[in-house]
């Protein structure tokens, strides 16, 4: 049973009647059956949940051990492959969205930054950064600063500063294992539009990057100095449509910086400190 309360369609059912089953729900159209069978298995399976979470095995894990799926568009007569992943292309075929997707690739996806994209980046004050480690474990983080804190170096490269933080370095750690990165910039205030930047990232120390790009800013928000930079080679740049982007109004905020007071900085807003967790034990407080 799925979350909507409707019966799930299991793999055995799909293998036998994939072309005759009606839609599972309005939000989940039935594949046409033109995609690779392994991909349909991956998309439609509803595995049971084992009691031991350490033994959780997803369809993706099973599939990864098998032969990698073949990109249905790889053999087309074109000098450069289409944007997007094999999974994207297979599911476009499975759900009959090839024409819409192809139109989007042709009309909206660039392999570089044009002048409009550069101007957009130059006025953005925040970015959502997605990374993954070598095993595919993901992390999403927020980066923010004054307008233009993400520097456009040229048509194919941008960079953003990394400051002293909590010391975890989750994003940088992922990048050190896996250079693929996805950045989403959103204008919530004026144009209600977004820009995706996908590419490969590398970590560069502040002094080393300044030696190559001496025009990098020397004055930063609240006097902070970058310890290092993330330089991203842009491979895909494309629009995020405005349909569901909420409008926000910026307001002045008084915040106390330069303090180690956890409450004033909001460091334990979710009251996580002291909660038991698998990797350490909280020692009971002695009554004496």
Q: What is the pLDDT of residue 231?
A: 98
The better pLDDT of the pair 68, 147 is held by 147
Least confident of 61-65, 66-70, 95-99, 233-237: 61-65
pLDDT of 12 higher than 60:
no
Domains and CATH numbers, the chain: 11-108 (no CATH), 115-240 (2.30.110.10)
Statement: residue 168 has pLDDT above 50: yes
pLDDT value of residue 259? 59
Is 213's pLDDT higher than 50?
yes
Q: Identify the pLDDT of residue 123.
A: 96
* Mean residue pLDDT across the chain: 79
Give this prediction's pTM: 0.72
| pLDDT top residue among 6 and 273 | 273
Q: What pLDDT is recorded for position 195?
A: 98
Whether 8 shows a pLDDT value over 70: the answer reads no
pLDDT at 217: 86
What is the per-residue pLDDT across 103-159, written as a single tens digit (0 to 9) for each?
A: 999 999 999 999 999 999 999 999 999 999 999 999 999 999 999 999 999 999 999
Give the mean model confidence (pLDDT) for residues 181-207: 97
- Pick the more confident residue, 223 or 112: 112
In the predicted structure, residue 247 carries a pLDDT above the cut 60: yes
The yes-or-no verdict on residue 53 having pLDDT over 60 is no
Q: Looking at residue 166, what is its pLDDT?
A: 87
Instruction: Give the pLDDT band (50/70/90) at residue 88.
Output: very high
Torsion, CA 65, CA 71, CA 72, CA 76, rounded to 10: -150
Residue range 160-166: mean pLDDT, rounded: 91
Provide the percentage of residues in the chain whose pLDDT is more than 90. 53
Residue 161 confidence (pLDDT) above 50: yes
The most confident of the ranges 2-16, 67-81, 156-170, 266-280 is 156-170
Q: What pLDDT does 93 receive?
A: 93
């Amino acid at each position: 049973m799925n979350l909507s309360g409707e019966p799930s369609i299991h793999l055995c059912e799909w293998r036998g009647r994939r072309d005759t089953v009606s839609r599972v729900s309005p939000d989940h159209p039935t594949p046409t059956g033109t995609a690779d069978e392994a991909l349909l298995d991956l998309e439609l399976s509803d595995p049971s949940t084992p009691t031991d979470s350490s033994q959780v095995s997803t369809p993706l894990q099973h599939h990864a051990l098998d032969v990698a799926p073949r990109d249905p568009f790889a053999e087309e007569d074109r000098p450069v492959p289409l944007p997007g992943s094999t999974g994207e292309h297979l599911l476009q075929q499975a759900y009959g969205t090839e024409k819409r997707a192809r139109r989007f690739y042709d009309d909206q996806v660039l392999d570089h930054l044009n002048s409009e994209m550069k101007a957009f980046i130059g006025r953005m004050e925040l970015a959502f950064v997605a990374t993954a480690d070598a095993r595919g474990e993901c992390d999403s983080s927020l980066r923010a600063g004054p307008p233009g804190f993400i520097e456009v170096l040229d048509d194919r490269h941008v960079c953003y500063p990394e400051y002293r933080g909590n010391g975890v370095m989750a994003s940088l750690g992922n990048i050190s294992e896996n250079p693929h990165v996805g950045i989403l910039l959103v204008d919530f205030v004026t144009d209600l539009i977004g820009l995706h930047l996908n590419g490969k990232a590398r970590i560069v120390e502040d002094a080393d990057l300044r030696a190559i790009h001496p025009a990098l800013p020397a004055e930063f928000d609240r006097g902070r100095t970058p310890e290092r930079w993330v330089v991203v080679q842009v491979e895909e740049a494309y629009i995020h449509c405005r349909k569901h982007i909420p409008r926000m109004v910026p307001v002045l905020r008084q915040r106390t910086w330069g303090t180690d007071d956890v409450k004033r900085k909001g460091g334990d807003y979710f009251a996580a400190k002291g909660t038991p967790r698998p990797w350490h034990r909280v020692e009971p407080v002695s009554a004496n």
